[in-house]
Structure 1
Amino acid sequence: MPPRASPTSALRLRRFYTSRAAVDTPPPVSHSRGAPNGSSASLPPKRKQRSTWTQRLLVLGLIGGGVYAYDKKFNASAITRSLRTGYIGLLCTLDYKLNFSPEKANEINELHERVAKRLRWVIDTNQGLYLKLGQAIGLQAALLPKPYRDAFFHVFDNAPSVPYEQVVQVFRSDLGIDPMDVFGEFSKEALASASVAQVHRAVLRPEAGNPDQVVAVKVQKPAIAKQMEWDLFSYKSLMWLAQKAFDLPLYFVADYVSSQMRFETSFTMEAANARKCAALLAQTPELRDDVYVPRIYGKEDGYPESDRILVMEWVDGCRLNDKKQIEAWGLDPREVMDLAIGLNGAMTFSWGFVHCDPHPGNILVRPHPWKKGKPQIVVLDHGLYITLRQSFREEYATLWRSMFVLDIDTIEKIGKKWGLGLDPNMFASAIMLRPTQVKPTGKKGPHPKKSEYELQLEVKAQFKAILESEQLIPKELIFLTRCQRMMQANNQTLGSPSSRVNVTAQWAARGYANSLTGSRALSAVGFQTWLKDRLQMVVFRFTLWVIDVAFWWTKLKQRWGSSDALGWEDRLQKQMESLARDEFGIEIDDTVFLG
């Protein structure tokens, strides 16, 4: 057994081994110059800060990538589309705020081109409801600078269709069946495609009691349901941003337009609108034989019907503005346009129930099934209707009639009630889409030459003055003006065969007469009112006669005069352009409505 060490010896041994350990242990390696295994705690402050930001950016990138992947696969890229819209909206706003100035007056056209191209890009990229919003801009493009007219002309073309597999998904999701479970035939390729839906040709099964019955099946694109609320939020946000940035009261229309777009994506609502339109036609003897609404096949008939699937009768025909085919059938373009304009007049002034998308693809023409040599028009796409308030419908009919009987007091009264502080002549011209002078005024010469910047500031001031009482402006005017412009463009494309203003005025007179309560007989209203009614009727008919004479004189010049003679609507357009240039100093162009 070894001898036991004394305490003193033990202390010396500890000191010896401790000193040897200090000599034998290598010094710690510094990681401040990029050693592979260093901890962030040992980094210098600047290096440590960079490392922290790198980690944060990496985490954000991973989160962003995950959100993008989820959004694309499960949410139809709704968030991505909204972010894209927000980016373009901010970019365009900043561009205008920085570059729309007197110092850069000679660069304003280039500014408009940049902004128009960005807006076109975001509409073309996002598709869906953005095409509807693009059409809304396109319909107002006649009042915008030329780059916007060029950029938005294409939005009235067909939109791309989705593959058949996605159509099957909609059937399975809404009805729990495949298309071939219901139909004997079903085209896998869409025959037509719009911004919200596409149409397939199908044949009903013989056992349903309709052998070989061909139908059109309208199927909503599956992404619309997921994108709609995000898209409308983006639209309303941009309207709010534009209002704040440019000091113009623009946001007041956002809620109204958004609610109408929601209705347009509901095929249950569209089916109800189509049935109501057909019922109102049956009560209108002037139109019921010559205007047709295809039958809707619904649940009561044993066919599928949902908010995203609609089955209707298939009807062949050509587009309303297909002049070549109309004449090949031996039909009179004037009768065709008189029917289309008359239908719009009946909806506006008699029914108070207005189809607000009467572009040429939604109104077909075909030879009348039993009236030889006569046309019949077929009304499609009943998604977008507005119901006019009784009070507004009466005021609108009264306004049209007052413009023909030169009742200036009534015109001014209605204009003030609607919050439109316009000169009566300009107000009447804007409503009828033709130069109209109801109040004598001193002759004005053309505006002195102004820079592009000064002209557009003047336009902004005019619009701001008009829109300052936005709470009073009837929202119905947005869509009624749209309908008038579309009818004007359809008429113009066919060579202006119809006297649009007169046909509309006659329906307005019917609406005005129907709105009157009580008897208008001499014993009921007294001699003075009775005489005023008769005088106004004489003035009304005389004004219609004068316009008809001017219309037919233009037609004769067009037929027998020079080959470049302008048609009726073309002449009105030129006069409106001259009026806008002389009164406001701005240039307008209606060629955008000819699609």
Structure 2
Amino acid sequence: MTLGRIGHRLWRYRWLSRTALAVSGAAGVYAYDKHFQASALARTARTFKDIAAICIDYKLNFRTERGVEHLNMIHERGAKRLLRCCQENGGMFIKFGQSIALQGPLLPPAYGRELSVLYDNAPFVPVAEIAPVIERNFPGSTLDDLFVDFSQEAVASASVAQVHTARLRRDPTQLVAVKVQKPEIKHQIAWDLFAFRTCALVIEKAFGIPMMWSVSEVEQRLREETDFEREGHNADRAQDDLNKLADRWLRSSVYIPKVHWEETRREVLTTEWIDGTSMVEPKRLTSQGWSEKDIMNLVVSVFAFQIFVSGNVHGDPHPGNILVRQHPQYKSRPQLVLLDHGLYIRESRQFRKQYAEFWRAAMIGDNASMRNIVRHWGFGDTDMFSTMISLRPPTLTGHPHMHKLQQQAEQNGDDGSHSTKDAYKEQMEFKRRAIAALKGTRKLPQELVFVSRNMNIVRASNRSMGIPVNRIKILGHYAAYGLHQMLVDDALSPNRRFDRVRGVVSSREMLLSRFLGLIVAEWSYLTFNIAVTVASTSMALYEGASWIWSLITGNSRRLDSESLLDENMQKMIERKLGYKIDTSLFSA
């Protein structure tokens, strides 16, 4: 045997041994990842692969000359790929996808349409798999030591947890809801947040869109949602706010289930079980004799109270988290039961005051004050601010850059039809403005994002009920009340004894300052309420005239004030920009 053959055999042996070692190593990593890390590594790799594919698709194929249909196909491919990634990964990725779906009007319509399916109930895991989670949180105790009649199937299942009914072992008469974190979440959350952070950074670098400004806040909120002890404290505080700060009607009309702290830990939350009808089923509510107007009046009121008065705001008030039951004391009245207190926002006093002042300025037409507040929050483009806060499509018409595009079209003899080039320019113009707006978001109060989300979910609920209440009137009432309380507190604050320049002021000056502060508070409250009354009266007159006109003409189609605003905005955008708005996005 020659030295050459010996060398070749040695080379083959080394290649085979290295290949076998690599394969066995990969198989070992896969097995470890699957059985001990809940496939966290595989899910992260899938995420990087899908996000990279979406980015490359946009970079290579988003070109003017390929036509509007081709541009829409790119959006469609990206949305479907992102949906598939979220569904295959499950867990926290369901929440990521839901968050993207809620930002529908800031993205191509395909993303809101495709990702909206993630709101459906998630599959539940068997009791045998969640029992170890309970036992891990209660060392030395088994599931049977804590509960009796523990339901074998979950009554509800979400992305990170599922709920079972049971009775307490220490008090079998007490029926409870036991919320248990799914076993894989503990292993997956760190990797999921790493993937989320990395993808945000890649998108920022690849497309120049500021993303990282919100990442730390989103990560914090997601971690908080997996801490069920924190959720229990949120529930207790929300009930305490109602007891101490709400008026008698609201305090009596809203109930939050009691937390059983002896059976509650970081991954297990036990509360009293409340029978009621979910707001997801509006037809069932009306068939039970409840007034849609009474229900929505309560829904809008309680969340307006949280936003403008208590400053402790439920971050996820969708209909599935609200039950309606017969009032325990007043049998003819409904009572709301608020569930799922995992995501709460603690507003700073400064933000709450600014937000109420923004509403006051909007109501009385004080444009200068509105612009000042918006600029203080880091936005120079007030129209883009309106788009981001209201989750409505952007108004590009009238903007200097859009006006320039229209002039160019007229010079080129455009007959008004919507060309491929125009569609591309519009999308790129919106991207440019969104990037410019987001660059100022370092000053943006983080509370604003979650408060806006709260208000828009409530708006969607009001629309699903046929818009039975005037939200503007109710929100304005609580904004006026909350601002009045803060101004009165400022006027009577001990800090009025001090002046930044002179130090302690005289008693006479202090009394005068407090008196003037109270006058400002009362004047603000009076003018705010007058503006709210005028606005609500105008809406009522319009809707009354619409009703009379429908009787005269026999036309059954009537528009409420909110629908009128939406329809006019849709027509304006279609007329000026040439593309049809997907109005289903408003009900995300």
TM-score (norm 2): 0.85
Would you say the 8 A contact 2:317–2:457 is kept in 1? yes
Which residue in 1 is equivalent to 2:503? none
Q: Secondary structure at the match of 2:149?
A: strand
Would you say the 8 A contact 2:477–2:532 is kept in 1? no
Would you say the 8 A contact 1:321–1:493 is kept in 2? no
Which residue in 2 is equivalent to 1:163? 126
Give 1:579 shift.
Answer: 5.3
Which residue in 2 is equivalent to 1:547? 539
Kindly tell me: are residues 502 and 321 of structure 1, through their superposed partners in 2, closer, same or farther at Cα, counting changes over 3 Å?
Answer: farther
Give 1:154 shift.
Answer: 0.6
Give 1:511 shift.
Answer: 1.4
Which residue in 1 is equivalent to 2:474? 503
Is 1:175 matched with 2:138?
yes
Would you say the 8 A contact 1:330–1:373 is kept in 2? no
**Of 221, 224, 241, the match for 1:260:** 221
> Separation in 1 of the partners of 2:292 and 2:386?
28
Which residue in 2 is equivalent to 1:312? 271
1:571-586 aligned within 5 A: 571-578=564-571
Which residue in 2 is equivalent to 1:204? 168
Q: Secondary structure at the match of 1:562?
A: coil
**Of 77, 91, 95, the match for 1:114:** 77
Which residue in 2 is equivalent to 1:388? 347
> Separation in 2 of the partners of 1:243 and 1:441?
25
Which residue in 2 is equivalent to 1:62? 24
Q: Secondary structure at the match of 2:468?
A: coil
Give 1:435 shift.
Answer: 11
> Separation in 2 of the partners of 1:364 and 1:556?
35
Unaligned regions of 5+ residues in structure 1, if any? 1-28, 33-37
AA matched with 1:269: R
Is 1:589 matched with 2:582?
yes
> Separation in 2 of the partners of 1:483 and 1:412?
23
Is 1:141 matched with 2:104?
yes
**Of 305, 326, 329, the match for 1:346:** 305
1:539-588 CA-partner distances (Å, limit 9, x unpaired): 44323322343355556778996344445543333234345557877754
**Of 452, 458, 467, the match for 2:429:** 458
AA matched with 1:571: L
Would you say the 8 A contact 1:418–1:473 is kept in 2? yes
> Separation in 2 of the partners of 1:180 and 1:556?
64
Kindly tell me: are residues 215 and 140 of structure 1, through their superposed partners in 2, closer, same or farther at Cα, counting changes over 3 Å?
Answer: same
Kindly tell me: are residues 100 and 281 of structure 1, through their superposed partners in 2, closer, same or farther at Cα, counting changes over 3 Å?
Answer: same
Give 1:99 shift.
Answer: 0.7
Kindly tell me: are residues 521 and 546 of structure 1, through their superposed partners in 2, closer, same or farther at Cα, counting changes over 3 Å?
Answer: farther
**Of 285, 293, 298, the match for 2:261:** 298
Q: Secondary structure at the match of 1:295?
A: coil
> Separation in 2 of the partners of 1:229 and 1:411?
40
> Separation in 1 of the partners of 2:399 and 2:50?
45
1:440-471 CA-partner distances (Å, limit 9, x unpaired): 999x9996535332221011012012112121
Is 1:272 matched with 2:264?
no
**Of 322, 334, 340, the match for 1:363:** 322
1:12-48 CA-partner distances (Å, limit 9, x unpaired): xxxxxxxxxxxxxxxxx4596xxxxx64x246xxx95
Which residue in 2 is equivalent to 1:154? 117
Is 1:518 matched with 2:462?
no
Greater Cα shift, 461-470 or 273-282: 461-470
Would you say the 8 A contact 1:403–1:411 is kept in 2? yes
AA matched with 2:273: W
Give 1:530 shift.
Answer: 8.1
Unaligned regions of 5+ residues in structure 2, if any? 407-415, 493-511
Give 1:533 shift.
Answer: 7.3
Count of residues in Structure 1 that have an aligned counterpart in Structure 2: 546
1:473-500 CA-partner distances (Å, limit 9, x unpaired): 1121211121111111111111111111
Which residue in 2 is equivalent to 1:12? none
Would you say the 8 A contact 2:359–2:476 is kept in 1? yes
> Separation in 2 of the partners of 1:198 and 1:213?
20
Greater Cα shift, 136-145 or 222-231: 136-145
Would you say the 8 A contact 1:264–1:384 is kept in 2? yes
Give 1:512 shift.
Answer: 1.2
Would you say the 8 A contact 1:273–1:383 is kept in 2? yes
Would you say the 8 A contact 1:153–1:592 is kept in 2? no
**Of 30, 34, 38, the match for 1:72:** 34
Q: Secondary structure at the match of 2:73?
A: helix
Would you say the 8 A contact 1:365–1:376 is kept in 2? yes
1:359-406 CA-partner distances (Å, limit 9, x unpaired): 111011112222232211100000000101111110001001110011
AA matched with 1:543: A
Kindly tell me: are residues 245 and 557 of structure 1, through their superposed partners in 2, closer, same or farther at Cα, counting changes over 3 Å?
Answer: farther
> Separation in 2 of the partners of 1:203 and 1:556?
56
Kindly tell me: are residues 365 and 130 of structure 1, through their superposed partners in 2, closer, same or farther at Cα, counting changes over 3 Å?
Answer: same
Root-mean-square deviation over aligned CA pairs: 3.2
Kindly tell me: are residues 351 and 488 of structure 1, through their superposed partners in 2, closer, same or farther at Cα, counting changes over 3 Å?
Answer: same
Which residue in 2 is equivalent to 1:8? none
> Separation in 2 of the partners of 1:69 and 1:173?
24
> Separation in 2 of the partners of 1:241 and 1:178?
45
Kindly tell me: are residues 428 and 594 of structure 1, through their superposed partners in 2, closer, same or farther at Cα, counting changes over 3 Å?
Answer: closer
> Separation in 1 of the partners of 2:299 and 2:384?
26
Would you say the 8 A contact 1:216–1:314 is kept in 2? yes
Kindly tell me: are residues 465 and 185 of structure 1, through their superposed partners in 2, closer, same or farther at Cα, counting changes over 3 Å?
Answer: same
**Of 184, 194, 203, the match for 2:148:** 184
> Separation in 1 of the partners of 2:485 and 2:521?
18
Give 1:515 shift.
Answer: 1.7
> Separation in 2 of the partners of 1:526 and 1:364?
40
Greater Cα shift, 51-60 or 241-250: 51-60
Greater Cα shift, 366-375 or 240-249: 366-375
Would you say the 8 A contact 2:232–2:269 is kept in 1? yes
Would you say the 8 A contact 2:104–2:391 is kept in 1? no
Which residue in 2 is equivalent to 1:400? 359
AA matched with 1:267: F
AA matched with 2:88: T
> Separation in 1 of the partners of 2:454 and 2:315?
6
AA matched with 1:364: L
> Separation in 2 of the partners of 1:298 and 1:256?
28
Kindly tell me: are residues 571 and 266 of structure 1, through their superposed partners in 2, closer, same or farther at Cα, counting changes over 3 Å?
Answer: same
Is 1:227 matched with 2:188?
yes
Kindly tell me: are residues 565 and 533 of structure 1, through their superposed partners in 2, closer, same or farther at Cα, counting changes over 3 Å?
Answer: closer
Kindly tell me: are residues 97 and 429 of structure 1, through their superposed partners in 2, closer, same or farther at Cα, counting changes over 3 Å?
Answer: closer
Q: Secondary structure at the match of 2:252?
A: coil
> Separation in 1 of the partners of 2:187 and 2:570?
43
1:316-335 aligned within 5 A: 316-335=275-294
> Separation in 2 of the partners of 1:214 and 1:592?
39
Would you say the 8 A contact 1:388–1:476 is kept in 2? yes
Which residue in 2 is equivalent to 1:35? none
Which residue in 2 is equivalent to 1:491? 462
1:418-447 CA-partner distances (Å, limit 9, x unpaired): 111124x6656764678999xx999x9996
Kindly tell me: are residues 469 and 450 of structure 1, through their superposed partners in 2, closer, same or farther at Cα, counting changes over 3 Å?
Answer: farther
Kindly tell me: are residues 224 and 470 of structure 1, through their superposed partners in 2, closer, same or farther at Cα, counting changes over 3 Å?
Answer: same
Kindly tell me: are residues 143 and 555 of structure 1, through their superposed partners in 2, closer, same or farther at Cα, counting changes over 3 Å?
Answer: farther
Kindly tell me: are residues 274 and 539 of structure 1, through their superposed partners in 2, closer, same or farther at Cα, counting changes over 3 Å?
Answer: closer
1:163-189 CA-partner distances (Å, limit 9, x unpaired): 111111112211132222122211011
Q: Secondary structure at the match of 2:269?
A: strand
Would you say the 8 A contact 1:143–1:588 is kept in 2? no
